[in-house]
Amino acid sequence: MSNIKKVVLAYSGGLDTSVIVRWLQDTYQCEVVTFTADLGQGEEVEPARAKAEALGVKEIYIEDLREEFVRDFVFPMFRANTIYEGEYLLGTSIARPLISKRLIDIANETGADAISHGATGKGNDQVRFELGAYALKPGVHVIAPWREWDLNSREKLLAYCDERNIPVEKKKGKSPYSMDANLLHISYEGMVLEDPWAEAEEEMWRWSVAPEQAPDQPTYIELTYEKGDIVAIDGERLKPHEVLAKLNKIGGDNGIGRIDIVENRYVGMKSRGCYETPGGTIMLRGHRAIESITLDREVAHLKDSIMPRYAEVIYNGYWWSPEREALQALIDQTQTYVNGTVRLKLYKGNVDVVGRKSEDSLFDEKIATFEEDQGAYDQKDAEGFIKLNALRLRIAASKGRKLS
């Protein structure tokens, strides 16, 4: 412990990380540097400065990372149509590699010996933070207080604050849901959600109206794509983080993006959580629509086949890994001709594709038509195609092999 002189802490300003600041000071007799990232969580991050100062912190980093987050992490992930276990759009997972990157950058800038985070010993985030940190700085020392201390309840944390005069906001009644928010989503865990049979309370949701309360008239939007990324909404060019923020508002107003799932955590347990991802839900549907007319069939199927692996890599915390970079290179290469416009209809929780167009479209009306195709496709050729593809089936059947 005596070798640790300075620690960079991922600091939110909340109860847990405020306790961690003082605990690090007391336990390691070290200087603490705090890092607070604005990833679009919807709350002011600047108040964290005053809280850190009150705890004696001299070096305080507060950074607006919204554009980098969406441009360099969210958008690359959505080029792959990434979804974990069929439902989860990885809103928490994709934020962790950026935070890890900045923790290491700041550690290098300040000469810190270690980094620290507030993730618990039961969750995925400890893995994500630390895998990223070790990949970027192999010799870094990581301090995870939840794996070391015995302050394993809110009551103990508050008692620790009282003993050491740590200023925190004390909320009466039950603890709130455990929440994590950024521009891509809000997650909810704990309380009633720990019973997978119990329905989530309507009051829990923050970004979206209930689908039954959404407008009775649909909302139409047009998304313009360049190389797989949305660059404009309804013809208005926007920066990546502006795109996502606007889609969150439009989607939330139409009751889009709520899911309630039980997922398999990397550490081995099943966990029930609820997620609001209105903008991401729209982005996924729109991207698949523009790819449907611009991607070659085999390329599209190849992408679909590797997507679960890519999603698992991100979920498990391996963004900073050679396998993710290799998968990303393939995915990005497929996006060269993913250009054009998609028209979507949003209505009471649903996202329907109602139009798509592109100068790079592979859809050929002359061939696809049910009317006279003027010789573009000879239907007689299909007979030989079918017989060749049926050859193995015919041989097996002729040998007496039966299929049940």
Provide the edge-to-edge strand list for the sheet that holds 236-237: 236-237, 229-233, 219-226, 340-347, 350-357
Q: Which of 105, 178, 288, 332 is catalytic?
A: 178
**DSSP state letters, 188-253:** EESGGGGSTTSPPPGGG-SS---GGGS-SS-EEEEEEEETTEEEEETTEE--HHHHHHHHHHHHHH
Is 13 labelled as part of a ligand binding site?
yes
Q: Which of 96, 258, 272, 356 is catalytic?
A: 96
Scan for tokens 């620290």, then name that residue. 116
**DSSP state letters, 115-168:** EE----TTSSHHHHHHHHHHHH-TT-EEE-GGGT-S--SHHHHHHHHHHHT---
Q: Which of 16, 38, 180, 229 is catalytic?
A: 16
Is 124 labelled as part of a ligand binding site?
yes
178 catalytic per annotation = yes
Is 368 labelled as part of a ligand binding site?
no
Is 16 labelled as part of a ligand binding site?
yes
CB distance 328 to 76 below 8 Å = yes
CB distance 336 to 295 below 8 Å = no
Is 178 labelled as part of a ligand binding site?
yes
**DSSP state letters, 366-401:** HHH-SS--TTSS-TTHHHHHHHHHHHHHHHHHHTT-
Residue 4: strand, helix, or coil: coil
Is 12 labelled as part of a ligand binding site?
yes
Is 102 labelled as part of a ligand binding site?
no
Is 88 labelled as part of a ligand binding site?
yes
Is 10 labelled as part of a ligand binding site?
yes
253 catalytic per annotation = no
175 catalytic per annotation = no
234 catalytic per annotation = no
Position 269, amino acid? M
Is 216 labelled as part of a ligand binding site?
no
DSSP state of 72: I
Provide the edge-to-edge strand list for the sheet that holds 186-189: 178-181, 186-189, 270-276, 258-264
Is 14 labelled as part of a ligand binding site?
yes
Q: Which residues contact 371 (CB under 8 A, 6 or more apart)?
A: none
Is 263 labelled as part of a ligand binding site?
yes
Q: Which of 113, 125, 180, 229 is catalytic?
A: 125
Is 281 labelled as part of a ligand binding site?
no
Is 120 labelled as part of a ligand binding site?
yes
Is 17 labelled as part of a ligand binding site?
yes
Q: Which residues are annotated as a binding site?
A: 10-18, 37, 88, 93, 118, 120, 124-125, 128, 178, 187, 263, 275
Q: Which residues are annotated as a binding site for L-aspartate?
A: 120, 124-125
Q: Which residues are annotated as a binding site for ATP?
A: 10-18, 37, 118
Q: Which residues are annotated as a binding site for L-citrulline?
A: 88, 93, 124, 128, 178, 187, 263, 275
Catalytic sites, residue numbers = 16, 96, 125, 178
